[in-house]
Amino acid sequence: MTAFVVARNSYLLLMLLLAVADYFFLSLSPWVYLALTLLYILLVVAGSSVMSLNFFTRSYTRGRGNTIALTFDDGPSAEHTPAVLEVLDKWGATATFFCIGERMEQNKALVRKIKEKGHRIGNHSYTHSNLFSIFGKNMVVDEIEKTNRLIQELTGEECRLFRPPYGVLNPPIAKAAAACGMQVIGWNIRSFDTTTKDYQKVVERVLPRIGPGAVLLLHDDRENTPKIVDAILAHASRLNLRYIQAQELIHE
Ligand SMILES: [Zn+2]
């Protein structure tokens, strides 16, 4: 049973009990019902956007032991991904690239190169549509399957790693991921590398939070990413952390 089902059933039971009590002996203000409903809605919204709450489905957001997992979303980018690969090479680091299907279609050789370098390709949907969070289950299944077929074609690997666009998990997305046999991979350090052009700011924010079990969210379609990754890897090597890929985050 997911946390969502527990929350929904508790909410419905509480409303029912209050209504019965209200009818027989309590005299509650309508505001009590409204406040409880608002609280429930807030909980569902938080559960949709914070993957580590595991509200709608299990997601993996933390490594075990002295490890660090670097994950890159939204690529591959012909302009910026090659420089990211060079920095990873320089430090002998391995990483996971959660690629968008449409972008893989445009950069097939680059996807093969990522795989040849020993990194892992994950599924980050086919279109990364702005409307992804209101897609129905079947639409999400289509997105996942189309991208999985492409990954299989380009790397020969069956992909089971899924990162939902914008990190949003709601019932249709959770059900689609389960129907496709995907494991949902989250993060515990968000770099916010897409919100500022000042790479030093990103580095200053991220480095102090890095420690054993870190799972970083980065984007390989940005100009500053290679510089940010270089600083992160220098720090990780000082801390003696071992680089792992997303499939190594999956455990019971
Ligand atoms: Zn994304």
How far is ligand 1, taken at its centre, from the CA of residue 72, in Å? 9
Ligand 1 centre and the CA of 51: distance in Å?
A: 14
pLDDT by residue (tens digit) across 175-218?
999 999 999 999 999 998 888 889 999 999 999 999 999 999 99
Please identify every residue annotated as catalytic.
73, 219
What are 37-69's pLDDT values in tens digits? 999 999 888 887 887 778 888 899 999 999 999
Residue 252: the pLDDT is 66
Nearest one of 103, 182, 99, 98 to 140, comparing CA atoms: 182
Write down the CATH number for the domain with range 59-249. 3.20.20.370
**Burial class of residue 225 (count of CB atoms within 10 Å of its CB; 0-12, 13-18, 19+):** buried
Sequence-ordered strand ranges (E) for the chain: 59-60, 67-73, 96-99, 120-123, 161-162, 183-185, 189-190, 214-219, 242-244
Q: Is 128 left (phi over 0), alpha (psi -120 to 50) or beta?
A: left
> Which amino acid is located at 70 in the chain?
L
pLDDT tens for 67-86 read: 999 999 999 999 999 999 99
**Among candidates 167, 206, 209, which has minimal Cα distance to 185?**
167
pTM to 2 decimal places: 0.89
Q: How far is the centre of ligand 1, averaged over its atoms, from the C-alpha of 42 (Å)? A: 24
> Residue 74 C-alpha to ligand 1 middle, in angstroms?
5
Mean model confidence pLDDT for the chain: 94
Structure tokens at 116: 């040849």
Domain parsing of the chain, residue ranges: 3-49, 59-249
